[in-house]
Amino acid sequence: MVTALGGVPRFHHATLIPQAAAALAAETAERGRLPVLLVDEAHLLSHDQLEAIRMLTNSDLDSASPLAAVLTGQPQLRHNMKLGVLAALDQRITVRYAIQPTRLPPRRQPARRRLPARRVRHAQDHRR
């Protein structure tokens, strides 16, 4: 994220989070745009990675968040967010949406009945 905003990332967690927060604040102040962090397959993120996202949204609790984070993933993500370890991140979520699985109508007849029956000859039958 720091690289995408034009910076050179530091490699220690204690310095990288403030650096990323400063880069996000500068982006908002200079360009008047709210950066968006989009994470697909977020159910695969570890607790530490989700905590890092929380820390990025934690810069000024009294004002607006420095970025909008969109997390998409399987239902496991919802379960992970409910864990006590991630309660602080779960409290920051303003919009939740779950897509229900589609239900296809049952077929009137199994597929094997719709396909024409064909006999398969054994290898011995081809020698004749």
pLDDT value at 112 more than 60: no
In sequence order, which residues have a C-beta less than 8 Å from that of residue 21 and are 6 or more positions away? 55, 56, 59, 66
pLDDT value at 72 more than 70: yes
Cα–Cα dist 41/72, whole Å:
6
Please name the amino acid found at residue 60: D
Cα–Cα dist 77/50, whole Å:
10
Cα–Cα dist 102/105, whole Å:
10
Q: Are 49 and 79 in contact (CB under 8 A)?
A: no
Share of the chain above pLDDT 70, in %: 73
Q: Over the stretch 77-106, which tens digit does the pLDDT of each residue have?
A: 989 888 888 888 888 888 988 888 777 666
pLDDT at 27: 82
Q: Are 106 and 94 in contact (CB under 8 A)?
A: no
pLDDT value at 44 more than 90: yes
Full-model pTM: 0.64
Between 113 and 78, the more confident residue is: 78
